[in-house]
């Protein structure tokens, strides 16, 4: 019975380690996604040729004409 209890503790510890590793990976993925999303508007503006506020305004005005 003591061996079964020790095995159960070992398995529980492994599960805890795996949960922590997964949480760290999820947090890292969240940070990477936030970084990518923060860069997206700037990259889109560069691709669209609307780097400055004046460029964006001109593009919007062209869209209405």
Can you give the pTM of this predicted structure? Answer: 0.56
What's the start-to-end Cα distance of the chain, in Å? 82
Give the Cα separation of 9 and 63 in Å (integer): 66
The answer to whether residue 28 scores a pLDDT higher than 90 is: yes
Q: What is the pLDDT of residues 30-58, one digit of tens each?
A: 999 999 888 877 777 777 777 777 877 88
pLDDT, mean of residues 57-64: 82
Predicted pLDDT at 43:
78
Contact 59/48 with Cβ under 8 angstroms? yes
Domain boundaries, the chain: 2-64
């Amino acid at each position: 019975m003591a061996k079964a209890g020790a095995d159960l503790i070992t398995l529980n510890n492994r599960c805890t380690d795996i949960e922590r590793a997964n949480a760290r990976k999820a947090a890292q993925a969240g940070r990477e996604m936030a970084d990518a999303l923060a860069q997206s508007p700037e990259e889109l503006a560069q691709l669209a040729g609307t780097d400055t506020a004046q460029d964006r305004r001109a593009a919007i005005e062209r869209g209405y004409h």
